[in-house]
Amino acid sequence: MNPFEVLGLEAMFALDLKEVEKRHRELSRALHPDKFVGAGASERRASLNKAVEANEAWRVLRDPVKRAEALFRLAGVSVGERNEPAASPEFLMEVMEWREALAEARATKDVGTVGKLAAEVRARAKGSEVVLASTFGLQKPDPDELKLSQIQLGELRFYVRFLEEVSAIEEAWQDEISQ
């Protein structure tokens, strides 16, 4: 399934997510089961399949990692952590330092440090997204660009996971305050 095609969009990384959501909602309304009550079984099944595709397309395109993976697949490049170039030792060392700092901040309930780490990682994630947007613009990327962008995708995966961990820490702290 080409999620861009399903929602009638150009296959590019930089998308207006409000426009993507609007297209998803419009398509979902058009494919709603109530509109096919009087239709035959095959037509109802077809509309249901299209609705499932539309939902899956929205799920893929709103997530920057899944969107990049879809673009790599469209470019004929295998994706997944096992298919991507290994991260540099420098990046891995930086990751380890961030994780240690986050663990220490969590243990000491240092809200400021958690916020500072999150801001730094968000900025780095934004940088990876800029590279991916540049690679997957309207022109077909060349193989060298794809290789560099695969590295950015791997880094973006880390940033997203790190920020999810930050959110979990912040939610846990909020729950403690609420009790």
Give pTM, 2 decimals.
0.87
Q: Domain for residue 79, yes or no?
A: no
Choice between 39 and 137, residue whose per-residue pLDDT is larger: 137
Residue 170 and residue 114 in contact, taking contact as beta carbons nearer than 8 Å: yes
Structure tokens given for 143: 């193989």
Say what the pLDDT of residue 39 is.
Answer: 79
> pLDDT above 70 covers what percent of the chain?
99
Residue type, 80: G
pLDDT in tens, 162-173: 999 999 999 999
Q: Domain for residue 74, yes or no?
A: no
Q: Please tell me the distance from the alpha carbon of residue 61 to that of residue 129, in angstroms, as a whole number.
A: 13
pLDDT in tens, 71-107: 999 999 988 888 888 889 999 999 999 999 999 999 9
| C-alpha torsion sign, points 90, 94, 96, 97 | positive
Does one domain contain both 58 and 97? no
Say what the pLDDT of residue 159 is.
Answer: 97
Q: Domain for residue 42, yes or no?
A: yes
> pLDDT above 90 covers what percent of the chain?
70
CATH for 26: 1.10.287.110
Average pLDDT over all residues of the chain: 92
Q: Domain for residue 98, yes or no?
A: yes
pLDDT band of residue 138 (cuts 50, 70, 90) is low
Does one domain contain both 114 and 166? yes
Treating both helix axes as pointing N-terminal to C-terminal, what angle do 41-61 and 17-30 enclose, rounded to 10 degrees? 170
Residue 98 and residue 104 in contact, taking contact as beta carbons nearer than 8 Å: no
- The structural domain count of the chain equals 2
Residue range of the domain that includes 31 = 3-62
Q: Domain for residue 67, yes or no?
A: no
- What is the H or E stretch that residue 51 is in? helix 41-61
Q: Domain for residue 160, yes or no?
A: yes
Does one domain contain both 169 and 96? yes
Does one domain contain both 40 and 107? no
Does one domain contain both 38 and 93? no
62, 79, 98 - which closes a domain:
62
pLDDT in tens, 12-61: 999 999 999 999 999 999 888 777 777 788 888 888 889 899 999 999 99
Say what the pLDDT of residue 43 is.
Answer: 85
Does one domain contain both 142 and 104? yes
Q: Domain for residue 78, yes or no?
A: no
